[in-house]
């Protein structure tokens, strides 16, 4: 399996490091030995190598902030030219998320699929905005589009849904944003919102501009993916009711556990007859709810389906290597489907 990476930032590097550590095991266990034949990044340049770029060398180049063209001819090619010339079977789309347009990822994905290349992405934008269209395009072209990393990073949610579940999921409810969960956990322990946010920023959990997390846009994109692609809805971002955590009363958050409750930012979607709805907002959950027990940057999701009732999955929802694991899991799923 020949891979072309478009975007070689934190997740790309995390993926390369996980491959470096576990490549031998994957080869032995599954006969799976992917080869990275191209890497293209706006900041770090481009390298093409039909024989394959060694993960160790790629990792070192990232750590040394070296231009990738030192590793193989790359020049000033655009992403589309790299995808075409690489001869790759799978394109890993790992560029930054734009929740309004889905670009540049949406164009990269459409181009790759129409050129009959499988795509693995961790980018929420294109999947939230154009998921069904892109999946149909993949099918038309006889290739796969997988996006495990988009909702719970490395926690295998879609693999579970794809391979472990045989009846329709009726409802999903989750803590899908680790940053806000971390802030709420700290507020419950007595910090103000501003102090908790500053700590999240210091630890690298929150961006300098935290709007996407604290106002619920990130969770909205994730619940939109689940509403449309798991519950088979047809929702747009404007159809999802959204409220963030910035208006929560800190005293309320701190006192809730004394009353057997805990405040969480909950993203929820459900199918009711022919309708699917979705919303994001703070909720006061009873401590008996498994979601109320999930603290810090962890993510969790409860799936409701017959005859299992409620099934809750808890795991890491962010981090370069964790998300790199999702990329590798998607590649392995494609490999196993092909073999
Ligand atoms: N990090 C996580 O924990 C995590 C978890 C789940 C999902 N994700 C998603 O995974 C994707 C990658 O995340 P990340 O943390 O790796 O982001 P990142 O560190 O910002 O890396 C993205 C890289 O892509 C480059 N880039 C931007 N536009 C490009 C283009 N048109 N063509 C080629 N390269 C381009 C960027 O260069 P510049 O810096 O010069 O723009 C940057 O080097 C994002 O969509 C993110 O939302 C991340």
pTM: 0.96
Max Cα distance, the chain (Å): 63
Q: How far is the CA of 145 from the centre of ligand 1 (A)?
A: 18
Task: Name which residue sits closest to atom 12 of ligand 1, judged by CA.
Answer: 94
Sign of torsion, CA 237 277 205 97? negative
Domains 2-154+320-338 and 166-316 share a fold: no
Instruction: Name the architecture of domain 2-154+320-338.
Output: 3-Layer(aba) Sandwich (3.40)
Kindly give the distance from the C-alpha atom of residue 93 to the centroid of ligand 1, in angstroms, as a whole number: 9
- The pLDDT, as a whole number, for residue 339 is 55
Q: Are 154 and 322 in contact (CB under 8 A)?
A: yes
d(CA 188, CA 262): 8
Task: Give the ligand 1 atom nearest the CA of 318.
Answer: 3
Q: Best mutation site among 5, 11, 207, 222 for ligand 1, i.e. most ligand atoms within 8 A of its Cβ?
A: 11
Pocket test for ligand 1, best of 14, 42, 76 (most atoms within 8 A of CB): 42
Q: Name the residue among 173, 159, 74 with its Cα closest to residue 330.
A: 159
Structure tokens at 181: 């969960």
Q: What per-residue confidence (pLDDT) applies to 208?
A: 86
Cβ partners under 8 Å of residue 328, min gap 6: 15, 18, 19, 22, 26
CA distances in angstroms from 332 to 26, 30, 122, listed in the order given: 9, 8, 15
Please, what sign has the CA dihedral across residues 154, 159, 160, 161?
Answer: positive
Over the chain, what is the mean pLDDT? 95
The CA 24 to ligand 1 mean position distance, Å, reads 27
Residue for token digits 């910035």? Answer: 246
pLDDT tens-digit map of 12-70: 999 999 999 999 999 999 999 999 999 999 999 999 999 999 999 999 999 999 999 98
Query: What pLDDT score was predicted for residue 204?
Result: 84
Strand partners, 5: 39, 92
**Predicted local confidence at residue 74, as pLDDT:** 73
3-state SS, residue 260: coil
The C-alpha angle 77, 78, 83, rounded to 5 degrees, equals 95
Nearest CA to 118 among 138, 97, 96, 94?
Answer: 138
Residue 333 has pLDDT above 70, yes or no: yes
What pLDDT was estimated at residue 206? 87
Hey, how many other C-beta atoms are within 10 angstroms of the C-beta on 166? 7
Average pLDDT of the segment spanning 112-134: 98
Is residue 245 a contact partner of residue 211, using CB atoms and an 8 Å limit?
no
Using CB distances shorter than 6 Å, the residues near ligand 1 are: 6-12, 40-43, 79, 94-97, 104, 122-124, 149, 153, 318-320, 323
Bridge partners (DSSP) listed for residue 41: 45
Question: Smallest Cα–Cα separation from 88: which of 119, 59, 46?
Answer: 119
CA distances from 331 to 3, 21, 129, 335 (A): 9, 16, 23, 6
Name the pLDDT band for 256 (thresholds 50, 70, 90): very high
Given the CA of residue 95, which atom of ligand 1 is nearest to it? Answer: 24
Q: Which atom of ligand 1 is nearest to the CA of 326?
A: 6
pLDDT at 77: 85
The residues near 247 (Cβ < 8 Å, ≥ 6 apart) are none
- 11-47 as b/e, with b when 16 or more CB fall inside 10 Å? bbbbbbbbbeeebeebeeeeebebbbbbbbbeebbbb
pLDDT in tens, 293-320: 999 999 999 999 999 999 999 999 889 9
Listed residue (331, 335, 291) closest to 122, CA to CA = 331
What percentage of the chain has pLDDT greater than the value 90? Answer: 93
The residues carrying an active-site annotation are: 222
Give yes or no for a contact between 38 and 47, defined as CB atoms under 8 angstroms apart: yes
Matching residue, tokens 């796969």: 144
Class of domain 166-316: alpha beta
Angle at CA 256, nearest 5°, toward 253 and 261? 120
What pLDDT score does 207 carry?
A: 85
Residue nearest (by alpha carbon) to ligand 1 atom 38? 43
pLDDT digits (tens, 9 = 90+) for 156-188: 999 999 999 999 999 999 999 999 999 999 999
Does residue 72 or residue 211 have the better pLDDT? 211
What are the structural domain ranges in the chain? 2-154+320-338, 166-316
In the block, residue with structure tokens 């990232």: 62
How many Å lie between the centroid of ligand 1 and the Cα of residue 95? 4
Partnered with residue 284 across adjacent β-strands are 263
Rounded CA gap, 49 and 72, in Å? 6
What's the gap between Cα 298 and its chain centre? 14
């Amino acid at each position: 399996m020949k891979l072309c990476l478009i975007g070689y930032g934190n997740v790309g590097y995390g993926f390369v490091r996980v491959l470096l550590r576990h490549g031998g095991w994957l080869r032995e266990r599954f006969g799976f030995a992917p080869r990275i034949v191209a890497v293209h990044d706006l900041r770090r340049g481009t390298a093409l190598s039909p024989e394959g770029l060694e993960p160790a060398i790629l990792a070192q180049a990232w750590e040394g902030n070296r231009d990738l063209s030192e590793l193989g001819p790359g020049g000033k090619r655009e992403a589309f030219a790299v995808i075409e010339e690489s001869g790759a079977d799978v394109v890993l789309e790992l560029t930054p998320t734009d929740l309004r347009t889905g670009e540049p990822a949406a164009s990269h994905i459409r181009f790759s699929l129409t050129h009959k290349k499988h795509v693995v992405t961790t980018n929420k934008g294109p999947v939230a905005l154009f998921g069904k269209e892109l999946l149909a395009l993949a099918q038309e072209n006889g290739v796969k589009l997988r996006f495990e990393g988009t909702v719970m990073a490395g926690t295998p949610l879609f693999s579970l849904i794809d391979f472990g579940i045989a009846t329709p999921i009726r409802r999903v409810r989750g803590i899908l944003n680790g940053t806000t969960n971390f802030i709420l956990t700290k507020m419950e322990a007595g910090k103000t919102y501003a102090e908790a946010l500053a700590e999240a920023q210091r630890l690298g959990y929150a961006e300098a501009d935290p709007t996407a997390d604290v106002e619920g846009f990130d969770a909205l994109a994730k619940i939109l993916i689940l509403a449309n692609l798991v519950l088979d809805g047809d929702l747009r971002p404007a159809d999802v009711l959204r409220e963030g955590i910035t208006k929560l009363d800190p005293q309320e958050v701190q006192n809730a556990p004394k009353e057997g409750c805990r405040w969480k930012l909950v993203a929820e979607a459900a199918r009711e007859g022919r309708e699917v709805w979705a919303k994001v907002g703070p909720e006061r959950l009873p401590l008996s709810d498994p979601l109320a027990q999930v603290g810090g940057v962890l993510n969790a999701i409860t799936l409701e389906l017959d005859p299992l009732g409620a099934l809750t999955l808890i795991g890491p929802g962010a981090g370069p290597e964790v998300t790199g694991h999702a990329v590798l899991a998607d590649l392995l799923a494609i490999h196993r489907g092909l073999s």
